[in-house]
Amino acid sequence: MIRNQDAFHTSVLLQKAVDGLNVKPGRKYIDATLGGGGHTEEILKRGGIVLGIDIDQDAVDYVREKFKVQSSLPRRQAGKFKVNKDLFIAQGNFADLKNIAKKYNFDLVAGILFDLGMSSYQIDKSTRGFSFLRDESLDMRMDKSEDITAEYIINHKPKEYLYEIFTKFSEELDSGSIAEAIVSARALKPIKTTQDLVRIIMSAKKRVGQQHEATKVFQALRIAVNDELENLLQGLEDAYQLLQEGGRLVVISFHSLEDRRVKLQGREKGWHLITKKPIIADYQEILKNPRSRSAKMRIFEKV
Ligand SMILES: C[S@@+](CC[C@H](N)C(=O)[O-])C[C@H]1O[C@@H](n2cnc3c(N)ncnc32)[C@H](O)[C@@H]1O
């Protein structure tokens, strides 16, 4: 169990995101991507009542311990075991946001936050193969109870499927030669670890600029394993229905595929866009937390 907040995750755009939610004491907020609970903690500090959801049981366990939430049942059922009376925590997928929220009596809320992507814990400590800089098994599941792993996709899916996800989910220009190299390598022996895959990618493409050869393929695989874009669309749809009039939706995304979907969905639903241009991390934040450099935050209001 990790006990230090920074070791688990350093929240990106912390104050600006919570400012965006326009927190009022006693109102209800959903943190749809709880992670290490940094944004949730700030909402609690400002007097909000929070339902925090994460797909990763490790995040849920960490935050439960951190805030001493011994039960995540709604207050009236939790009785004397509830230590932090303003915080409820649930393990679940935000694609199922409406059902989870209803279970916790959060079906009309003042604000919802999505801070997409992965926590630092998942990348650096989970040993689930999210990072091409480590040698771990090719897993990449955020929800460990799901069946499909990156290893399964890499070893069993047809070449055309690999080509499609590399192209669609990360705009990898060498998708064809990488898919070809994977299919040839797996015919000799199964591809088991992140470094097995990195070697194959490096044999099939040349580095362009500073970016590591495996960056895009790893992003695409993670998106495919966790069905990230479909989940996001469903989560945003549910968020629209759960928000009260004047309620705020804040979304922090980390790549253009996500940001594009957030923008489009906002336009389709007729959300009032508070941020004409996405908010990004300033120089000082990027210096302290380099992972904030690709963050783009958009704030919407339900009209
Ligand atoms: C960037 S972290 C959030 C960090 C958090 N805001 C904080 O301040 O510590 C993203 C989190 O979203 C979770 N996540 C990703 N996809 C999810 C989904 N479909 N449903 C629920 N949680 C999800 C990940 O497991 C991860 O813990």
Q: What is the CATH number of the domain that holds 221?
A: 1.10.150.170
- For residue 54, which atom of ligand 1 is closest to its CA? 22
Q: Is 255 in the pocket of ligand 1 (CB under 6 A)?
A: no
207, 225, 243 — which closes off a domain? Answer: 225
* Of 80-84, 149-153, 186-190, 296-300, the least confident: 80-84
The per-residue pLDDT for 212 is 95
Q: Is 238 in the pocket of ligand 1 (CB under 6 A)?
A: no
Confidence grade of residue 224 (pLDDT, cut at 50, 70, 90): very high
d(Cα 227, Cα 164) in Å, to the nearest integer? 14
CA of 93 to the centre of ligand 1 (A): 10
Which tokens go with 217? 């393929």
Residue 6 reports pLDDT greater than 70: no
Structural domain of 206 = 147-225
Residue type, position 51, single letter: L
Q: What is the mean pLDDT of the chain?
A: 92
d(Cα 270, Cα 101) in Å, to the nearest integer? 23
What average pLDDT does the segment 174-203 reach? 98
Pocket test for ligand 1, best of 14, 33, 57 (most atoms within 8 A of CB): 33
d(Cα 254, Cα 133) in Å, to the nearest integer? 19
What average pLDDT does the segment 188-217 reach? 95
Q: Is 247 in the pocket of ligand 1 (CB under 6 A)?
A: no
Closest CA to 292 of 54, 14, 3: 14
Closest CA to 181 of 198, 168, 169: 198
The per-residue pLDDT for 67 is 86
d(Cα 215, Cα 208) in Å, to the nearest integer? 11
d(Cα 302, Cα 153) in Å, to the nearest integer? 39
The per-residue pLDDT for 83 is 46
Residue 50 reports pLDDT greater than 90: yes
- How many structural domains comprise the chain? 2
- For residue 56, which atom of ligand 1 is closest to its CA? 25
- Higher-scoring residue by pLDDT: 58, 81: 58
Residue 2 reports pLDDT greater than 90: no
- What torsion do the CA atoms of 171, 174, 176, 180 make, to the nearest 10 degrees? -130
What average pLDDT does the segment 48-72 reach? 86
What phi and psi, each to the nearest 5 degrees, are found at residue 56? -95, 115
Burial class, 36, CB count within 10 angstroms (exposed 0-12 / middle 13-18 / buried 19+)? buried
Which tokens go with 145? 């109870």
User: Does residue 106 sit in the same domain as residue 237?
Assistant: yes
184, 201, 225 — which closes off a domain? Answer: 225
User: Does residue 44 sit in the same domain as residue 173?
Assistant: no
Q: What pTM, to 2 d.p., does this model score?
A: 0.93
CA of 79 to the centre of ligand 1 (A): 28
What average pLDDT does the segment 279-298 reach? 96
199, 225, 251 — which closes off a domain? Answer: 225
